[in-house]
Every structure is written in structure tokens, then in C-alpha cells.
Structure 1
Amino acid sequence: MRNLILSAVLAGASLLGMTAVQADEIEAGKQYVELSSPVPVSVPGKIEVVELFWYGCPHCYQFEPTINPWSAKLPADVNFVRIPAMFGGLWNVHGQLFITLETMKVEQQVHKAVFDAIHKEGKKLATPEEMAEFLATQGVDKDAFLKTFNSFAVKGQMEKAKKLAMAYQITGVPTMVVNGKYRFDISSSGGPEQTLQVADHLIEKERAAK
């Protein structure tokens, strides 16, 4: 946990003094790491871009205004996936929250509101009951949420997310992975905008390799 928090702090420190990254400057070992064992993607045939995050991470929250408009404009051959990082305690609780919202197909509707509740309004959202009360203000049915939160399907997706995080060998959040092969973050890339430049570069790299 200490290393994860330190990684997040280092990532946040790089928000200052950012410089543009040229395509010919982006290479393995600098802005990104090439995984020794590629991880299968969730939709075969598409280039997958994964963002691993935690609702309680301030740097993930700060990354939202940068990554959201970018991900909304990705071409049809790119599949953007969010995966909650779960390393115990509140990380797992919030991961279960995210997966529940995805399962209910309301995640896009309330994703920003959940982040705002934690980082602007000081809510912990540490129990299913507290989550249900808050989500009811966003139009999510309480009983349906609680039933889904404790469902076998959600528990199964949590285990899958934990295994993916291990396979990606992440040490902090936010972290991105392109096509199960390349891992990078705000710190290694040089800032939020540069992170997406690295993502664009690796998407093109994978597209050219097809």
C-alpha cells in the first residue's frame, strides 16, 4: 500500500512542468514498459486501452477532465476499458462499487458524480448502504443496487479485475495499458496530456502491426 500511495504521489508531482512528447521520442523503457507476457484483450480484433484507477485516488480524479474527452473520441477499432485497482480495504469496496454500476449499466451516468462525492463533498462511500443512499440521489434504485452489489456476478468480475491488475504488474494508479502489451502512467509519460500522446502512439503502433 505504501508503494502504491508513493507511486500516486510521484504521478501527481509530474503534473507540473510538463513538456510535449514527440512521437520519435516515445520508446520502451522510457515513457512505457513492454510487458514480458502480453495479457489477452476483452474484445478480440479491437485495440484495447485500459485505464486502471481508484475512486479514492486524487490523481485519478484530476486525470478525469483529460482522459474523458479523449476516450469519447476514440475510433471504432479501439475499445476503452476502465478497471478498478483493488489492493484491499477501501480500494476493494470502491472497486465493487464500480463493477456494480457497470453491471447495472449506469456507470457512465453516475461515474463523475461518484468521483465528485468523494473528492468534493468528502463522502467516503465506504459501505453499501452509504453508496445506495447517495446513488438514489442520482436516480439509481437502492434495492436494485444493493442486490447487485452482493451478487455472484459482481464478485466474479472483482476476481477477474484483481487478476488483470496482477498480470499488468501495476504499482500505482492511474495506470494505462494498451492492447495488453504496454504499460505506462502519468509519471513515466511526463503528465496527463503526454500520457494520452503515448497512448495514441501505441494505438498507432498496434494498428500498423495488424
Structure 2
Amino acid sequence: MTDPRRETQTREAQKRARSTALACLGIVVGMTALAFAFVPLYDLFCKATGYDGTPLRGAAAAGPASQGDPQGSMVVHFDTNVAPGLPWRFVAETPQIEAQLGATKTVFFRVTNTGTVPSTGIATFNVQPGLTGGYFVKVQCFCFNEQTLQPGETMDFPVVFYLEPGIKADANTRDLTEMTLSYTYFASKNGQPQAALATPVGTKAN
């Protein structure tokens, strides 16, 4: 003979188990969604604040400010890299320049597809030391724009930037005399760099 109380207890246990499973699934889905949302939010935060060596975006300085601050300058080094899997050669026209604070500078970068088939790449970047990112303002840059090169094709891309004079008023950066703008080209698919965690292979200019 079936015990009604046992059947009731069994149904309640099954109901609790289903509720727990659904709750766990909801947590997993929620955490996954937050993880994907965090990436663009973090990127926006870095671009807005210069955090973690991310240069700011801005318009070119106008008027007297565009001539720079005669009281200060910094040496800007240019570091170029290509991640494994992308058969490109990537160099800056000069390994470094001395940039007067506030003065707009333009530097060209050259990429060549050394492979035998067309390939698409996309460049990421940062500035080191990281604290200088909040004072490095990019006016024009090829970074995060997909580029497709035919075999043997070469293209030149400009980077237009200036350094805010406030870098010398900040106690954390006023004693710095040099900084590095570093770019890495990755193979690209649907506008996203592939194998972004791979160790880049340096392709310094000779």
C-alpha cells in the first residue's frame, strides 16, 4: 500500500531539487553574461581615464597650445610587434622621437604582408609606464581597424598624438623623461584579434 506522506515528501524533494538546479543555472548564465559585459565596459573605462596604459582620444591642440610647452618634452619610443600566425613585417619610421609637451606629432608605421596569400590583421596598443596613459592623447590612429593586405603589399599608417603638459604637474609622472607606445598586430577575424594571449614576436625596425 502506498504511503501518501512518503509520496508527498518525495514530490517536495524533487521540487526542491529542480528549484536548486534552476537557481544554479541562473547564476551560471548571469555570471557568463557579466563576464562578456565586463570586457567592453573595462575597455571604455580605460579609454576614458587612461588606466592601464590606455591612451586617451582627443582632438588636435589648436592655437598657441599646438606649438607645445617650451618648458618640457619627453622621449617617446615606438615598439612594434607581430603575433605568431600573421606573416607581416611591421616597423615604425623611427624608433623614437622627442615630443614637446602639447605639440601635435605624426609618426608613420609600415606593414608588409610577407606571406603568399591575402591576410587580415588588427593592431592593439598600450603606453608604458601605465601612468602616462592619461596624458598621451591620440588624435588619429590605425589601431583596432582591420587591414587586409595582398601578398607582398605594403601600407603606411599615421599615428597623430600629443602629450598633455599636465604630465609634468602630476607627482606620479613629473620625473619621467621617457615613455613607450607599443603596438601588436594580430590576425583578425570579424574585427576581433585572434590568439590575443599569444606571446608577440618583436619586429623592431633596423
Structure holding more helix per residue:
1
TM-score scaled to structure 1, two decimals?
Answer: 0.25
TM-score scaled to structure 2, two decimals?
Answer: 0.26
Report 1 or 2 for greater relative contact order, CA contacts < 8 Å, sequence distance ≥ 6.
Answer: 1
Structure holding more strand per residue:
2
